[in-house]
Each structure stands twice: as C-alpha cells, then as structure tokens.
A and B are shown apart, each in its own frame.
Chain A
Amino acid sequence: MDGKSILGILLLAAVQGAEIEIRTEGDDEEGALLALCALVESGFGEEA
C-alpha cells in the first residue's frame, strides 16, 4: 500500500491494536521510518 495514499491507508482497515508493517525507500528512508515508528508509538497524538 502506498503510504502517500490516504484512501489506501484507510482501506488497510487497520483498527487500534492491528499489526502493521512499515517499509520506506528513498533518500531519507531511515529518517522517515524512525518518524513513522515514533508516530505509532505516540498513539498518533491521541490521548488514551
């Protein structure tokens, strides 16, 4: 699924607790991966 597609992300139907695999490719693949993992770890900025 292309991460730049909001519809694609929605269609993953990944509800809270679902397992997801993130892959990044490109000039800043490492930085992007870290940023995405941090986003998931932080609960997407939503409070518990």
Chain B
Amino acid sequence: MQLKGTGVSPGIAVGQSLIVERDEAPVFRLLVPPGDTEAEVVRLTRAIEASRQQLLAIKDRMSREVGGPHAYIFDAHLLMLDDPLLRDRAVAVIREEHVNAEWAVRVVSDQLHALFDAFQDAYLRERSTDLDDVLGRIQLNLAGATGAPSLSRLPGRFVVVAAGLSPSEAAELDWERVVAVVTDEGSSTYHTAIIARSLGIPAVVGLEDATGRVPPGALVVVDGTRGLVVVEPSGPALADLRAAQERERLEERRLQGTTALPAVTRDGVEVALRANVEFIDEAATARLHGAEGIGLFRSEYLLGRARQWPTEDAQVDTYRRLLEQMAPHPVTVRTWDVGLDEMAPGGPTSPNPALGERALRLLRRFPEPFRVQVRALLRARAYGPLRVMFPFASGPSDLRLALQLLDQAKAELRREGKTFGEDLPAGLTLEVPSAALTTDLMAREVEFVSIGTNDLIQYLLAVDRTDPRVTALYQPLHPAVVRIIHQVVRAAEASQLPVSVCGEMAANPLHALVLVGLGVRDLSMSPAAIPRVKAALRAISFAEARAVAEACLELDSEALIEERVRRELGAALAAAEAPKD
C-alpha cells in the first residue's frame, strides 16, 4: 500500500509504525458550591504551574537539541500561561460563575478564539494554534495527565504515525527514537516540519487518514523527498529504497549549503528558480529549498479526493495563503487542467483523453468552474503578486476565449463593487506545439508564457511516455525539442515577453543548463530539485552555456546533444550530479 502526502522534510527512512491517536477529552461543566470555588482556583494554579515546569523542560531540551531559534516559541507559550487575559479571566470565571476550572479554561478559550478568528492577517490568525497548545496542556494537567508521556519516552525506534502534532507535542517527542514522522493533518504541522528538517528526519504530512490505514507495527518506508509512505514494501523494493536512502542522505548533506545562495552563473546571469506545487503545505518546503516563488500551482489538486469544485471564497483564501507564505515572491496559478470526467462525471469520455476535450477546451461547454476560478484569482490578486496561467491552448483563438472570460469576470466584480486586482498578469502554458509555433502571434495579448515541457515533448514527438514500448522515444533533448524551445525564446525576446519553463526538464541539471543556454531565465521545478539545479548553474558561465546550446541546434540526435553538453559542461554537472535516477 502506498499513500501520497506532502513531503515537508526530505530523506528516506524505514521503520516500524507507531500509531499515535489523540483523543480530545470532553470538558464537563460543573456547578461548584460557593465555598469550593477557591479550591478550583488552586487546581487551576497548580495546573498552570505544572504546565510551566513541562514547558521549561521542553524549551531546555529544544535549545540543546535543535538550537536557540526554535526554542523561542516556548517563551511565547510561557508568557501566555501567565497572561492576565488567560489566567485572571479564568479565575474570574470560576469565582463569578461558580464553575470548575476545566470549564473556566474552556470559556476563556472560546472568548479568545472569537477574537483571533476575526483577524484579517493569516499569520496572526495562525497564532491561535499556539494558544490551543497552551490551553490543551492546562486541560491535560487539570485532568491529572502529565501531557503526553508516551511521546517523550517511546518504547523503541519508530515511524511515528499521528493525527497531528502540536508544537509542544513535537518538541516533547523523543526524537532520538523517531525514524520518521507522518501525519494526517497538513497545515497545522508547520513547526513539526521545521523541527524534523533541522534534525534531518523525513516527514510527510497531509495524508488525511494514515492513522486509520497504517496498521500498528507495520514496516513503513517514508520518503520525505517525494511525499510518499509505503506500507509493507516487497523485499526487492525495500532493498532499492534502502540504497536510495543512503544516496539521499549524502546528497542532502552536500546540497544543504546551497539553499541560501543566489542562483547566478559565474558571469553574473541570474536565473529565477521557482517551485511547482500541488498542495498549499508545500509552500513551506519550497521556501526551505530556496524557491523564489511558485512558478506552477496545479490548482486541480484543490478538487481533492471528493472531486468537488471549491467555492470562490475558499479559493480566494487558498491563493491568498499561498501569496502570504511565499511573500514577496510571485505565485503563478494554472487554471483547472482537468479532463471531461471532472466536468461531467459519469458521462461520455474522450476516446483519447490526451487529445480530447480537456483543460481550456472545456471552457466552451462548461464555463462555470473557470468563471469562479478566475473571479477568485482576480480577488486574490489584491493580496500580492499573483499570476494566472491558462493551460492547453492550441493557439490564438483558444487564448482569446480565456482572455474574454477574464474581462467578463472583471466587469462582474466591478459591478458588484468587490475589491480585486485589475492588473492580474495573464499567461499561457505552451504545451501544444501549435501554440509554441504561434508565440509571436499571442505575444501582444499575454504578459508571459511558460513552456510545459512534459506535454510539449509528448505532443511534439507523438510519444506517450507512459507506454513502456515507446518511452525510449520520449527525448527531452531531441533536436526538435531544442529547436522549438529556441524558437519560442526568440519569439518571446522579440516581443519582450517573459518566458519560463515549468516541467521536468527544468529539474534535470543537464537539461536545465541547455534551457539556460537557450535563453530561459526562469525555471520552475519540484522543490527538492532546486538545490541541485542551483549548484549546476553556479558552476557554469552563461557564455559557455549559450555556446553549447547554439552548437546543439545543429546536432542531429539526442545522444549527440547529450554527449556534447556533458563534454563541455561536465564540471558543472559534476557539481550537481544527482544519484542515478
């Protein structure tokens, strides 16, 4: 069994699963006789005191094991414990309403939450998770529990499978015995990701139901680089994974130093390295790998397992959170890249979906989901440098249809008096050869183009790369691919149209050097690939890369092109050489 989530701490680890379920204890409301209220105040004071001792111990451990900065968060928790808005109010509730300490803490929690929920600013809103952590600890201490003792003393080395881990649970965790961490929850586990990363322990979050699906004690492989969790792998698969684990570990250590460095060639040409992401939680991973923004957000993942179209407001919130997480860098959202199945479930499907009615082509018959999405993007543009990108256009007329939709959405929002960003830059994913060959004709109508190399290669070479009998014919460095990219870049340069590449070519150091040599200055790839591509870029001069790319335009096979690049840029590739994949 294999589960897919979001990798938030890279690396591969193998171990036995330990399932951690978290029960929210019910809180009773009891009426306390007037003479006993002071006893409740004493219980509250003791619980706060016990919480303080635990937090001090955790903070001490964190500063020893992870380092100062991550321990600061517990200073904030310690301050909250004694905060008059928490402590004095809870005491007042006990005395005035004659209730038990548990209920008083609950009342204060509700009041504070109402205030936090009203915040406009996402960063501030999320501080309520810290508050919950503190209040939860007080409740546990009131209940006579001592926090979560099992977490701080694991009965062996385990892959911890938890519903979620709050910052203090994560800190309390017996990390020396943690092989890897996987959680059902996604967004609330940001601190866990930071701690796991700084300790070099693989982590995958957002698995939704891992606690329900992974049997206790099962052999589990966690691949934090790819966001995969494999339960009970077969013998050969396990051996492969263990070998990959060792390579990853060495690579990761070597590349870690590059995240803070600029992506610039030896002769000073800057290349923007951005991230392709599918889930909002990957924004943190993207940042940690040094991504300068998101070059491709595959919005169709918002449909989730239930295949439900998210509402306009929900989308505004998602895009806004992405912008906030990546600020000040730009975020490019690709509109729904889905098939007929999503628009008309259960209806007739295309006999050949790759060439059928998909993505932008569905706009003619099913405009509504696109209209909602474009409205949400326009509204979210008010919060930061957002861009919209339309996939799968065959040429100028498809593009015009998308731009009409954009104008119509603007007119609607204006009529409704809604706040939105009039200047949302609109671009096109170039993945159908006919669109690539008409770049110059569309240059005046769009503000950028992004070459989607995966599809472009498939359509240009007429190769289905999922068909094992022809995968060898899927050649990213086929002369036609190099030439068409060259042509797009030249057409774009002539119209001063920014051009980027989002696709696996950008993630492969050898291919990335060819792209840069051809004149592409903006590459978007899976976050984990960024350090490697950056290492290659920093080791070459642009002049060299350009000379090699130009020479490649005259070569007549992929083998010759690859050999030429390796010969000329071998030193740069050695700087980035990935474990064989």
Residues on A lying within 8 angstroms of B by beta carbon are 2, 4-8, 10-11, 13, 15
Chain A contacts for B120, CB-based, 8 A: 13
Size class of the B contact interface (CB-based, 8 Å): 10 to 19
With most chain B CB atoms within 10 A of its CB, the pick from A2, A10, A13, A15 is A10
Bound complex: CA A2 to CA B83 (Å): 10
Q: A8-B85, A10-B124 are in contact. List 5 more A-B contacts (CB 8 A).
A: A6-B76, A6-B79, A7-B80, A8-B84, A11-B85
Q: Which one of B76, B83, B121 lies within 8 Å of A15 (CB-CB)?
A: B121
Q: Determine if B85 and A13 form an interchain contact, defined as CB atoms under 8 angstroms apart.
A: no
Interface residues of B in 349-381 (CB under 8 A from A): none
CA distance A5 to B85 in the complex (A): 7
Is A13's CB under 8 angstroms from B121's CB? yes
- Chain B neighbourhood of A10, CB < 8 A: 116, 124, 127
- Per the bound structure, the CA–CA distance linking A2 and B164 in Å amounts to 34
- Among candidates A2, A4, A6, A13, residue contacting B124 with C-beta atoms closer than 8 Å: A13
What 7 pairs between A and B have smallest CB-CB spacing? A6-B79, A7-B85, A7-B83, A5-B83, A15-B121, A5-B84, A5-B85
Closest to B76 in A: A6
Nearest neighbor of A6 in chain B, beta-carbon distance: B79
Q: Knowing A15-B121, A15-B124 touch, does A6 contact B84 (C-beta < 8 A)?
A: no
Name the residue on A nearest B119 (C-beta).
A13
Q: In the complex the two chains form, is A4's CB within 8 Å of B119's CB?
A: no
The chain B residue sitting closest to A12, CB to CB, is B124
* Partner pick for B84 among A4, A13, A15, CB 8 A cutoff: A4
B336 to chain A, nearest CB (A): 33
Q: Is the CB of A6 within 8 A of B83?
A: yes
Asked if B41 is an interface residue, CB under 8 A from chain A, the answer is no
Measured between C-beta atoms, what is the minimum distance from A12 to chain B in Å?
9
Cα(A4)–Cα(B115), bound, Å: 18
CA distance A11 to B115 in the complex (A): 7
A7 touches B121 (CB 8 A): no
Nearest CB of B to A32, in Å = 17
Chain B min CB distance to A9 (Å): 9
Q: Does B547 contact A (CB under 8 A)?
A: no
Instruction: Please judge, given known A-B contacts A2-B84, A13-B119, whether A7 and B112 are in contact too, CB under 8 Å.
Output: yes
Q: Enumerate chain B residues within 8 angstroms of A2, measured Cβ to Cβ.
A: 84
Distance (Å) between the CB of B230 and the closest chain A CB? 41
Between-chain CB contacts (< 8 Å), 8 pairs: A4-B84, A7-B80, A7-B86, A7-B131, A8-B83, A10-B127, A11-B116, A13-B124
- Which residue, A8, A11, A15, has most C-beta atoms of chain B within 10 A? A11
In the assembled complex, the CB of A20 is this many whole angstroms from the nearest CB of chain B, namely 14
Complex: how many Å from CA A19 to CA B173? Answer: 40
- How far, in angstroms, from A15 to B124 measured CA to CA in the complex? 8
Chain B residues with Cβ under 8 A from A8's Cβ? 83-85
Cα-based distance from A5 to B112 in the complex (angstroms):
13
Q: Which single residue of chain A is at the shortest CB-CB distance from B89?
A: A7
Complex CA–CA separation, A13 to B118 (angstroms): 10
A13 — which chain B residues lie within 8 A by C-beta?
A: 119-121, 124
Please give the distance in Å from B81's CB to the nearest CB on chain A: 10
A6 touches B80 (CB 8 A): yes
Distance of A5 Cα from B124 Cα, bound (Å) = 15
CB distance from B433 to the nearest CB of A (A): 45
- State how many angstroms separate the Cβ of A33 from the closest Cβ of chain B: 21
Residue of A nearest to B115 (CB): A11
* A16 CA to B127 CA, complexed, in Å: 16
B 5-46 contacts with A by CB, 8 A:
none
Enumerate chain A residues within 8 angstroms of B127, measured Cβ to Cβ.
10
Q: How far is the CB of B327 from chain A (nearest CB, A)?
A: 11
Contact with A along B70-110 (1 / 0, CB 8 A): 00000010011001111000000000000000000000000
B114 CB to closest chain A CB (Å) equals: 11
Please indicate which of the listed interface residues B80, B85, B112, B120 has the most CB atoms of chain A within 10 Å of its own CB.
B85
Q: How far is the CB of A47 from chain B (nearest CB, A)?
A: 12
Within 8 A of A (CB), among B112-148: 112, 115-116, 119-121, 123-124, 127, 131
What separation, in Å, do the CA atoms of A4 and B294 have in the docked complex? 39
> Distance in Å from the Cβ of B415 to the closest Cβ of chain A?
31
In Å, the complex CA distance between A11 and B112 comes to 9
The CA of A44 and the CA of B120, in the complex, are separated in Å by 22
Residue of B nearest to A14 (CB): B124
A11 (CB) vs chain B CBs: closest residue: B115
Of chain B, the residue at the smallest CB distance from A8 is B85
Kindly report which residue of chain A lies nearest to residue B84, judged by CB atoms.
Answer: A5
Q: Which chain B positions have C-beta within 8 A of A5?
A: 83-85
The closest CB in chain B to the CB of A2 belongs to: B84
Q: A15 — which chain B residues lie within 8 A by C-beta?
A: 121, 123-124
